Chain A
């Protein structure tokens, strides 16, 4: 193996905080070689992002750092801000997580890309730098790059912004690209494109890459070597095949086991450890075996030709309608008792609007919603209030969905109090509910902040269960959770369904998550349900092209499978530009 371009030795980073010193990274050592892709994987709080910011020298001033980072002979901790800034953007560049906030909103995208060229090559003329920005945008697959370069970040979609970030990162042909969760904020189809682009960009300029992610699926198709982190320390470092096929450490094994897989149907054929915990979940779901066919079960929720249109208005004084957004455009589905229907779609597909329409319990703009056979439009005020206990919801963000100033017993009691339960009955039920969701009755007096994310989501489920609902709407219940925690919450949900016979409407953007828990899947796109069918059928034999696209975009946590799926996506010719290569700069042309 060639000389390492980056070596990190015994890196420790700590921050002072109200609760004493927080050790974000401890004794981390690794090397990155030329042209290599290293993935640093870990759950939230494992210190993976902090370690990469330390490499860039971008940690806040309050951080205390020890150890050594050497980059191409530069000892990073011995350089001052001015010397470091000569390396940043030129020798090391970085792609950040949230492309929405990572670009300055008040400058044109082209200007921001041109800026990175001109910072390190001040002799470049403004016009030449702009031309270069257009070439780079073209290279990363932005259509009409000339026009797009003159647009502002808010006129770009999330995927396009991340492409622009990548263009910025490769502009000066750096030796090392650090990508910090580059696709976490993106839809799955966009994620696949961006990861492919990043990989081919890396190969094109021959840079080494450090990919920081929590998503094992993304790692499989991208990395050469994998470093697993947990609680600020390194757990395991190995080649991607070693980590996925023969992990040495128990934590790596657990992490992989919790990863949901879309290709679980043919799991026996894969050598990867990934997804084994989810297989067990599937067994729980299938175990309840002899259920009567769904046609014989009573219908809990029926939605017929639901339409919700938002007008788009313009004008400051006189508002006039200039168009309309058909958020939900004539969808129909039904949920039987004890059934789990998954509503899957990317952002903007109308999932949340559908939920809101159902939860409102009012007459929709068009169409009919029936709950337990009753039309929501025909309800009296009293009936509507009573029906609120039959349809409950678990929200996406467990931090935001619980009142931080209420002990969880009160949080769980609140819906029961509204429905007029007696005090004794409420106390009894709180104990029982806490046990049902895998918490202890002693926890009742604690406040939400004393719980971890997964536990909080369990409290949210307990609250939803409080009044024996017929239907629970799960709005992305696990997308804010770490993957190992997600597996636990999913298992609990599957268990609840089997034991209590409650129906779920499970809304998710992630097909692999709903794979094991749902009976049927509805795929939404642009306000319409493009495919609705049994889970197995949709997964093994998707009918609609969009379902196929979604399925093929989900990363597969198996290196062999993932490598086979990669496609070339950077435009080499555009990157080399009109001057045939990068800016003529004698010092850089080695």
Chain B
């Protein structure tokens, strides 16, 4: 088991490295921060040496060969330094610092949304399969397809408008936007409850989209299990329908779900892009979009590194889960 997991982790580290390198090379060769660094309204020409230093310190000098810049960036990566923001953002904030302030905001969204979504999806999918063709099955199938066919922004709007409607009627509702209330004292009870309340709507959006696709997968794998010989054996041993499903069926149905889980986190991340934009959260998703918009080479590569690590961590988790569930692949 340890061997199996460590081999997988090693493969994933290599994969993460390749993905990030690819992202850096792409953004470094396609983005041109040097063109936006000097506003055309500059009154006096900047001395050449100053300009060179300006570009070098940001590691975006077009006179330096691409692979030398890549080597510089790799050197920084080894030291835990991802460079500074470039492009129109001239404040030179280290990308690492930027990530550290934003990751906790996004991560609670992504993790909560994925976990609630998968659990909900698994339960709903299994119930739909076991009670096949019942009203509950038909309703959940209809609802899942409805959600799957809507773009994420539309779902966000529906959730926000519902909240607004409730607020208009009853006078009580969840905070519409922003993860924190800057007017409240940080660390106070009010501030914490506000943060928790602000988390609810975005989490609902992510969980619902994840649950919709998950319940579909789970229904299919559960139907496979329901028709299997070993479940019939389990019932022939004297287990009732429910107990046979819980003891033998559930574990078998979860094995193929492990692989889907590995990709669910990636899906939740792209879902969180919209969520952060529309709920005005200053998270990684918003940072990623703005980094691309303002030709921030280091910032873009940093975001890709974060998502690569996130995806590969969840893949490793999925592998461990699968290894624990299925002795055949250990």
Residues of chain A at the chain B interface (Cβ within 8 Å): 56, 58, 81-82, 85-90, 93-94, 96, 98, 101-107, 115-116, 119-120, 152, 154, 165, 168, 316-317
Contact = CB atoms under 8 A, between A and B. Distances in A.
B228 interface: yes
B235 A105 contact: no
A102 B232 contact: yes
Contacts of A103: 230, 233
Given A94-B236, A96-B233, A102-B229, 9 more contacts: A81-B241, A82-B240, A85-B238, A104-B233, A104-B248, A106-B251, A106-B325, A119-B239, A317-B10
A230 to B, nearest CB: 25
Contacts of B327: 105-106, 152
B128 to A, nearest CB: 15
Contact of B237 (A105, A116, A154, A316): A116
A85 B230 contact: no
A81 B237 CA distance: 13
B235 A88 contact: yes
A316 B238 contact: no
B229 A90 contact: no
Nearest to A119: B238
B326 interface: yes
B236 A316 contact: no
A93 B233 CA distance: 9
B90 interface: no
B240 A85 contact: yes
A119 B237 contact: yes
A96 B238 contact: no
B11 interface: yes
Contact of B238 (A86, A104, A106): A86
B74 interface: no
Contacts of B326: 105-106
Contacts of A85: 235, 238-240, 243
B1 to A, nearest CB: 14
Given A106-B327, A152-B327, A317-B11, A116 B238 contact: yes
B25 interface: no
Contacts of B248: 104, 107
B69 to A, nearest CB: 30
A168 B235 CA distance: 13
Nearest to B10: A317
Contacts of B10: 317
A106 B230 CA distance: 11
Contact of A104 (B230, B240, B243): B230
Contacts of A120: 238
Give the most central of A58, A94, A106: most B CB within 10 Å: A106
A86 B255 CA distance: 30
B235 A58 contact: yes
Closest 10 CB pairs of A and B: A89-B238, A101-B229, A89-B237, A104-B230, A94-B236, A116-B237, A102-B229, A88-B238, A85-B240, A119-B238
Contacts of A86: 238
A85 B243 CA distance: 10
Given A102-B230, A104-B230, A104-B248, A90 B238 contact: yes
B328 A152 contact: yes
Contacts of A107: 248
B115 interface: no
Give the most central of B11, B238, B243, B325: most A CB within 10 Å: B238
A245 B221 CA distance: 50
Chain B contact patch, size range: 20 to 34
Given A81-B241, A101-B228, A104-B230, A93 B236 contact: yes
A115 B234 CA distance: 9
Contacts of B238: 85-90, 116, 119-120
B7 interface: yes
A104 B235 CA distance: 12
Given A81-B241, A101-B228, A316-B7, A56 B236 contact: yes
A104 B234 contact: yes
Contacts of B229: 96, 98, 101-102
B155 interface: no
Contacts of B19: none
A96 B243 CA distance: 20
12 contacts: A56-B236, A82-B240, A89-B239, A94-B233, A101-B230, A102-B230, A104-B233, A105-B326, A106-B252, A106-B255, A119-B239, A317-B7
Nearest to A98: B229
B7 to A, nearest CB: 5
A93 B248 CA distance: 18
A107 B325 CA distance: 10
Contacts of A58: 232, 235-236
Contact of A105 (B230, B236, B239): B230
Nearest to B227: A60
A116 B239 CA distance: 9
Given A103-B233, A115-B237, A316 B328 contact: no
Contacts of A119: 237-239
Nearest to A93: B236
A510 to B, nearest CB: 24
Nearest to B4: A316
A380 B233 CA distance: 55
Interface string B231-262: 01111111111010001100110010000000
Contacts of B236: 56, 58, 88-89, 93-94, 96
Contacts of B251: 106
Contacts of B234: 104
A106 B235 CA distance: 17
A116 B234 CA distance: 9
Contacts of A116: 237-238
A85 B7 CA distance: 44
Contacts of A104: 230, 233-234, 248, 252
Contacts of B239: 85, 89, 119
Interface in B2-27: 7-8, 10-11
Contacts of B8: 316
B3 to A, nearest CB: 10
A101 B255 CA distance: 16
A119 B235 CA distance: 11
A501 B229 CA distance: 46
A97 to B, nearest CB: 8
